[in-house]
Structure 1
Amino acid sequence: MIDSPYFPYAFALLVALPFVVFIRQFVFSYIKLKNQEIKLLTIKGNSEQRVHAYERLTLFLERLKPSNLVTKFDKNLAPHEFVFLIEKTINDEFDYNASQQLYITAKTWKNVANCKNNMLHLLHKTYENLGNNLSLDDYKTIFLMNYMNEEDFIANCLEELRKENLIVN
């Protein structure tokens, strides 16, 4: 058998076989680890985007609070000018944050949109119920009082955002 012309080939095959198996295992292990790394990076990226969405929507809701709205703009404006500028500001900021709905649940996005719509409705309802002779300071005071007399829809929405953020992350 040692005198066979195939002996050197058989011997080389026997010596090389463990190395081939070892290299194969190494390559498969390396590919598996790289796939796991890619999955972790993808999850981490989505998680960071989700957190960023919660942060931006929280900031939007904080800016939507009447106590923050009444401090905006010049005190020499007429109430109808103030309402127009506040409405434009709210709509612009809402539109700016519209892409964040991709990272939160549909229910939470609906709550954020409802907060915006409720605030705009309150702005207009307060203005419509006033006489034309009121100053901007009077309008702001009545606006704040009207908000305090209603359910605090902004605080409720912020609480929902916090809860969802804890569940998702």
Structure 2
Amino acid sequence: LVVFAMALTVILLFFRNEEKRRKAEVSLKNYKFITPLRLQAYERIVLLLERISPESLIMRVNRPGMTARQLQSELIANIRAEFEHNLSQQIYISPEAWELVKSARSNLIKLINSAADNIEPDGPSFNLSKAILEAVMSMDKQPTTIAIDYIKKETEKLF
């Protein structure tokens, strides 16, 4: 009876250790597979944030002859399109990082709308561009910069 109990204990310990080893092996394989995907997601999110930063967005979207209203509409449409194009990346980044990305998007849209409220809608797009850039320069830190800084810190944790 004692021999049976000892044998059973040894067998149970063996199976537990074997299960732990298999879990560790699967975890390592998942890590090797997921890490490149996560890095790619972080890269795409940083690219999204750079593309929707006011300076970049205005330079890319503003065309000669546009009115302030047209520019406002184009800027917001571009922000939404960039964001929607990268929605799937939220799977690979932390909920906190994704919230900062959403916050950056919302704050930029509010900034654009707020700047547009203070100028003539049918005036030249230059007036809106100037108002947006002045609002950005008065900020301590841009919403996109806050999100990018957080993502950089989060990415460092992967290594």
| Fold shared by both chains (TM-score > 0.5) | yes
User: Secondary structure in 2 aligned to 1:53?
Assistant: helix
Larger mean CA deviation between 63-72 and 47-56 belongs to 63-72
How much identity, in percent, do the aligned residues show? Answer: 23
* 1:45 matched residue in structure 2: 33
Largest Rg, 1 or 2 = 1
- Structure 1 residue 135 corresponds to structure 2 residue 124: yes
- Aligned residue pairs, count: 137
* 1:154 matched residue in structure 2: 144
- Structure 1 residue 111 corresponds to structure 2 residue 100: yes
Counterpart residue identity of residue 80, structure 2 = N
- Structure 1 residue 79 corresponds to structure 2 residue 68: yes
TM-score, normalised via structure 1 length: 0.74
* 1:94 matched residue in structure 2: 83
TM-score, normalised via structure 2 length: 0.78
CA separation in 2, counterparts of 1:50 and 1:71? 30
* 2:112 matched residue in structure 1: 123
Q: Does the Cα contact within 8 Å between 2:68 and 2:120 map onto a contact in 1? A: no
Instruction: Tell me which stretches of 4 or more aligned residues in structure 1 moved more than 3 Å.
Output: 38-41
- Structure 1 residue 65 corresponds to structure 2 residue 53: yes
Structure 1, gaps ≥5 residues long: 1-31
Structure 2, gaps ≥5 residues long: 1-20
Root-mean-square deviation over aligned CA pairs = 2.0
Counterpart residue identity of residue 130, structure 1 = I
CA separation in 2, counterparts of 1:50 and 1:167? 12
User: Secondary structure in 1 aligned to 2:136?
Assistant: helix
CA separation in 2, counterparts of 1:159 and 1:85? 27
Shift of residue 125, structure 1, vs aligned partner: 0.5
Counterpart residue identity of residue 47, structure 2 = L
Counterpart residue identity of residue 46, structure 1 = I
> Which residue, 124, 148, 167 being the options, matches 2:157?
167
Deviations 1:23-59 (A, max 9, x none): xxxxxxxxx79x83x5433211110110011000000
